[in-house]
Amino acid sequence: FNKRIQHRLELALRMSKTVIETIPILPFGMVNSFLIAFEGKAILIDTGLPQSEPKILKALKKHSLVWSDVNAIVLTHAHIDHAGSAVAIKSLTSAPIIAHEMEIPYCQGERPTLNATGLFGRLFYKTGAILEPFPYFRPDVPIAQPKLNLSEYGFPMCTLHFTPGHTPGSLSVLFDDGRVIAGDLAASGILLGGIAFRKRPKRPPFEESAALVATSLEQLLALGARKFYIGHGGPLGAKTIDTHVHALRKISPLPG
């Protein structure tokens, strides 16, 4: 009886505030998706690799949610490890897929620009895994503006911010309490990320523009971002991200 009461109290507490549930698509934080749960509703941030539906359903069940409770699917960008299950999740939820309009070519199968950031990226590229096809689509809500409030999806505390660099149309989801889901603007850990040294920042295996990534991270910090949830490893604090920005500026300094 006491355990049942405790479970109900914990559930009520979770439903009274916005929860970010990290969904481990691959073990050890190597690939993450995120479920945002609030008052019996959910938004899914990134859908993971193809066939990630069971792992996402497990996260929903943890919060006593079902597929129909998902109000929107937000893609930080359209690489296979973030958008690979978008079509499948949409069919299960009927939720609209939201992505920046600059990601549409990648959503529809155009090969992404993959500038390796180090030895692992170069070796990973040779495996061909990042270029594997997945069910392609056109976003239901292609975003053109720099910022979009998500209140119409039942989440007044969430805002999408255009934060390019990893890809041309990379998005971040910023909360008013300083939490931010920042896709692949940064990574941590070793190899693909997350296996060890998860608090140590690094560049993801691929990055289209280090300069734009640094600018995007600086903008998020200026907007009050304090805790960064990322696609590989993490989460990372603001001081750690600031250190990473300084390292990126050494690679790609500001003009002039």
Amino acid type, 68: S
Question: Rounded CA gap, 219 and 135, in Å?
Answer: 33
Which class for 9: exposed (0-12), middle (13-18), buried (19 or more C-beta within 10 A)? exposed
Question: Rounded CA gap, 140 and 96, in Å?
Answer: 5
**Angle formed by the axes of helices 238-251 and 210-222, to 10°?**
150
pLDDT category, 17, cuts 50, 70, 90? Answer: confident
Give buried/exposed letters for 114-150 (b at 16+ CB in 10 A, else e).
bebbeebbeebbeeeebeeebeebebebbbeeeebeb
- Checking if the pLDDT of 137 tops 60, the result is yes
Question: Rounded CA gap, 6 and 33, in Å?
Answer: 28
Give me the pLDDT at residue 99, please.
97
Give me the pLDDT at residue 11, please.
52
Alpha helices in 133-223 (DSSP H): 210-222
Query: CA-CA-CA-CA torsion for 127, 234, 196, 245, nearest 10 degrees?
Result: 80
Evaluate whether 98 touches 123 at the Cβ level (below 8 Å): no
Evaluate whether 157 touches 36 at the Cβ level (below 8 Å): no
Question: Rounded CA gap, 31 and 233, in Å?
Answer: 7
Mean pLDDT of 28-45: 95
The backbone torsions φ and ψ at residue 214, rounded to the nearest 5 degrees and listed phi first, read -60, -45
What percentage of the chain reaches a pLDDT higher than 70? 93
pLDDT tens digits for range 83-118: 999 999 999 999 999 999 999 999 999 999 999 999
User: What pTM was computed for the model?
Assistant: 0.92
pLDDT tens digits for range 186-245: 999 998 888 888 899 999 999 999 999 999 999 999 999 999 999 999 999 999 999 999
> What letter does residue 206 receive in the DSSP assignment?
B
Evaluate whether 237 touches 225 at the Cβ level (below 8 Å): no
Q: Name the nearest CA neighbour of 239 among 251, 252, 256, 221.
A: 221
